[in-house]
A and B are shown apart, each in its own frame.
Chain A
Amino acid sequence: MTSHATNPRAWLGLLLIAVALIALPFALSMAGTAWVRIANLALLYVLLALGLNIVVGFAGLLDLGYIAFYAVGAYVYALLASPHFGLHLPFWIILPIGALLAALCGVVLGTPTLKLRGDYLAIVTLGFGEIIRIVLNNLSQPINLTNGPQGLARIDAFQLGPVHFAKRDVIFGIEITGPMKYYWLLLLLLMATLVLVVRLQNSRIGRAWEAIREDEIAARAMGIHTTAIKLLAFAIGASIGGLAGGVFAAVQGFVSPESFVLVESVMVVAMVVLGGMGNIPGVVFGALLLALVPELLRYSVEPLQQWMFGRAVVAPEVLRMLIFGFALVLVMRWRPAGLIPTLIRTRMVAQPSSTK
């Protein structure tokens, strides 16, 4: 990152990108506020993918229940800022609580499962994800804690001083909607997360994760406390998931166990793998792609059929997932290391010719 600092052109480029990102919701809201909401969900997925990338990409531990941490964060926010318990704490208190509790869940999941690797770990984490969802579904009795399958509604929007995230403001004749405010907040969170994960990757801890991913026994022989370092990956990854979950609850205003099904976990894993495991730009790209393409298809599949056949032959939802799945297969066939693989992986492909 420091090498860019000396280059004025790089700074100009970054400035332009920043301006474009900040101005994006204005452009999107011309197409409809729904698109700003879609952008917000996409940003949430980017946060999730970056968090999971710490576990899967950096430390090489396959976690198929990652959405559980998202659920923990979301329910913490929902319970502490809704009429359900009559609590209405400010979001800047709840978000850290949610992140911490999710991290604790990560440690709770990690401690007994650390001896497992590969497929076995994947199965246990998958079970953990389901346990959290089923607990949320059933904790309406004997004390109504989560309101069961009905979920929790009328969750407070964020409020920071006079800025209320659910209301629209007009400043200098420019209309600022609620989703736009969330967008900027998410953008800020995303930047902070990006700084965190880039710094982590290049730190001592990052190198230890890399060593564990490559060969755990050798890592131990190097004096790396593998258990603690793996737990750290679980905890940091989970806390990012918990943070995203809190924002999700506020953005939606409603949470229910339905939002945290296995498919969601699989989706986040797909984002990490498709983009390029362990490579931060790749993961961001993968998450944006997988979050946005289904939405684009949702809006284009039906008009296209109308135009071609005069009526909708295949239900949009079916075709959307079909195209989506097929695209995934193609990508994995032609770019097995992800759309933007890590430098190491590309180096590996490029190397054999130069060694001779």
Chain B
Amino acid sequence: MSLLVVKGLQVQYGGIRAVQGIDFAVSAGECVALIGANGAGKSSTLKALSGLVSVAGGTIHFDQMLLNSLPAFERARKGLVMVPEGRGIFANLRVDENMQMGAYARSDRDAVQRDAQHLLRVFPRLAERQDQLAGTLSGGEQQMLAMARALMSRPRLLLLDEPSMGLAPQMVTQIFSVIRTLIEQGMTLLLVEQNARLALQISHRAYVMESGRITLAESADVLRDDPRVRQAYLGEPAN
């Protein structure tokens, strides 16, 4: 049984149907990517999963529980945690305070401190800047902080929205190497990414979204060699 099962999901903004009935699933320990062009409905899908926008149709089951009308904060407490697009760090709080905020819903203080120590080893850059205000970090460091903060809540499924967005290439490499480590450690991930090449390199499976629908669903290896994907998303000329 998959950890996350989505059936016929629809998202609407006024009259615009951003997501038009999609089915997909994520099993425990899997990294699944959702790729596609701007406006394909990837971020809307993630927002519907995390409860930031309401579902216009279909069902979302997380660990066999229907999520459709559960408020966002309850979903986060159930372990469905999103790293929002644009990161959403608390700019006027220090780096360590930001991380503690991630453990807001947890009451096991000792374990929280151990997790914080562990994550500072995973993200050495954050360790160096622990008592700096988060707003003074660079974009890439903020992305790291947003991920570390989300991990502080011990998520069962981590939703990553465009982790490479607006970052220098070197920083993107660093972020993705951390994501790869997370996958190796058994973290379940749903990754929304415009950078299809990177996404297909690290994920097990991927779904391709176009205009609110899923048009391809394959293992990442197969999609990497698919001529349609190569042409549309990996920047190769049609031949």
Number of A residues whose C-beta is below 8 Å from B? 25
Given A223-B76, A224-B73, A344-B93, A217 contacting B136 (CB threshold 8 A)? no
CB contacts (< 8 Å) of B101 on chain A: these are 207, 211, 219, 222
Q: Tell me whether A351 is interfacial, beta carbon within 8 Å.
A: yes
List the B residue with the shortest CB-CB distance to A215: B88
> In whole Å, how far is B45's beta carbon from the nearest beta carbon of chain A?
16
Instruction: Give the contacting residue for A220; candidates B52, B97, B132, B153; CB below 8 A.
Output: B52
Query: What residues of chain A lie closer than 8 Å to B50, measured between beta carbons?
Result: 221
B88 touches A221 (CB 8 A): yes
Given contacts A215-B89, A218-B89, A344-B92, contact A224 B133 (CB under 8 A): no
Q: What is the CA–CA distance of A115 and B81 in the complex, to the nearest angstrom?
A: 22
Can you name the residue of chain B whose Cβ is closest to the Cβ of A204? Answer: B104
Most buried by B among A218, A222, A348, A352: A222
Q: What CA separation (Å) do A344 and B90 show in the bound complex? A: 12
User: Is A222's CB under 8 angstroms from B104's CB?
Assistant: yes
The answer to whether B223 has its CB under 8 Å from any CB of chain A is no
Indicate with 1 or 0, residue by residue over A195-211, a CB within 8 angstroms of chain B CB atoms: 00000000010011011
Residues in B with CB closer than 8 Å to A348 are: 92, 133, 135-136
- Bound together, the chains give a CA A347 to CA B91 distance in angstroms of 12
Nearest CB in chain A: distance from B71 CB, A:
8
**A221 with B104: CB separation less than 8 A:** no
A2 CB-CB contact with B under 8 Å: no
B51 to chain A: closest residue by CB: A220
Give chain A interface residues in 153-188, CB to chain B under 8 Å. none
Interface size class of B (residues with CB under 8 A): 20 to 34
Q: Choose from B51, B77, B88, B100 the contact partner of A218 (Cβ within 8 Å).
A: B88
Contact between A221 and B92, CB atoms less than 8 A apart: no
B105 at the interface (CB under 8 A from A): yes
Q: Is B102 an interface residue (CB 8 A)?
A: yes
Which chain A residue has the least Cβ–Cβ distance from B72? A220
Closest-by-CB residue of B relative to A348 is B133
B142 smallest CB distance to A (angstroms): 11
A20 to B82 alpha-carbon distance, docked (Å): 54
Q: Given A207-B104, A211-B101, A348-B92, answer yes or no on A221-B132 (Cβ-Cβ < 8 Å).
A: no
Interface presence of A335 (CB below 8 A)? no
Decide yes or no whether A258 CB sits under 8 A from chain B: no
Beta-carbon contact of A215 and B90 below 8 Å: yes
Given the complex of chains A and B, what is the CA–CA distance between A146 and B213 in angstroms? 62
In the complex, chain A residues 11-52 whose Cβ is within 8 Å of any chain B Cβ: none
Residues of A within 8 A of B81 (CB): 221
**Complex contact A210–B52 (CB within 8 A):** no
Query: Contact at B73–A220, with CB atoms within 8 Å?
Result: yes
Q: Is the CB of A214 within 8 A of B91?
A: yes
Bound-complex Cα distance A222 to B150 (A): 7
**Nearest 7 pairs between A and B by C-beta?**
A218-B88, A223-B105, A214-B90, A223-B76, A223-B77, A220-B72, A222-B104
Q: A217-B88, A348-B133 are in contact. List 13 more A-B contacts (CB 8 A).
A: A207-B101, A220-B73, A221-B82, A221-B83, A221-B88, A222-B76, A222-B102, A223-B77, A224-B105, A227-B71, A345-B92, A348-B136, A352-B136
A: residues with CB less than 8 A from B are: 204, 207-208, 210-211, 214-215, 217-227, 344-345, 347-348, 351-352, 355
User: Could you name 13 residue pairs across A and B whose Cβ atoms are closer than 8 Å?
Assistant: A211-B104, A215-B91, A217-B88, A218-B88, A218-B89, A221-B50, A221-B83, A222-B153, A223-B153, A347-B133, A348-B135, A351-B133, A351-B136
